[in-house]
Structure 1
Amino acid sequence: MEIIYAVAVGILAGSGVWLLLRPRTFQLIMGLSLLGYAVNLFIFGMGRLAVGKAPIIDSQLGADPARYADPVPQALVLTAIVIGFATTALFLVVLLGSRGLTGTDHVDGEEPDQ
């Protein structure tokens, strides 16, 4: 399972970087989103990949803490999703404003010579 998880994070990060290098602003925004998803998955994976384990340690049971999932990465990823959604909305508003002012959606504001 760890190999599949690592490959998924790698594909998302690679695709995000490739889209960041494209000349259009919409591709840039999609690249930032994919890169954000890759980072979120990476942070989520730092809390141990475990299926069916409780997220909180019950002190009355006196159980081994290694049997439980870590809730901190889950909270960090949830916060990052909300912040990522807000910044994507802001980027889209700036994209629309820039396209209205310049008439093009290229990152540098100029159409390439053809």
Structure 2
Amino acid sequence: MRAPVPMPARPTIVTVGLLALAIALPAFSSNYVIDVALTIVTYSILGLGLNIVVGYAGLLDLGYAAFFAIGAYSTALLETLLGFSFWETLPFSVAFAGVSGVVIGYPTLRLRSDYLA
């Protein structure tokens, strides 16, 4: 038998296409289009998190939405009170949500089923 010829994976092609779009979008778009694109990407990440927890792990966990909200709230505070841009607040918001996730999530590691939610 002949060995099958490896083809590039579809997610790889999609990832390269989205990366090229992300690089080209700011050069040809208005601020409105960029804001809408960022909103789509943000909620896509939230939906992928739900897919991993509920779909693959089979657990009902609502805590990831709280950490999403913590990151969004810290971004909003840094943008409005200190005048930072979105890209400047991104590392701080991710770090703050991650630390909050570790502190709040550590006691719940042994919980299962409905207690996890």
TM-score (norm 1): 0.36
Work out which structure has the larger RCO, using CA pairs closer than 8 Å and 6 or more positions apart in sequence: 1
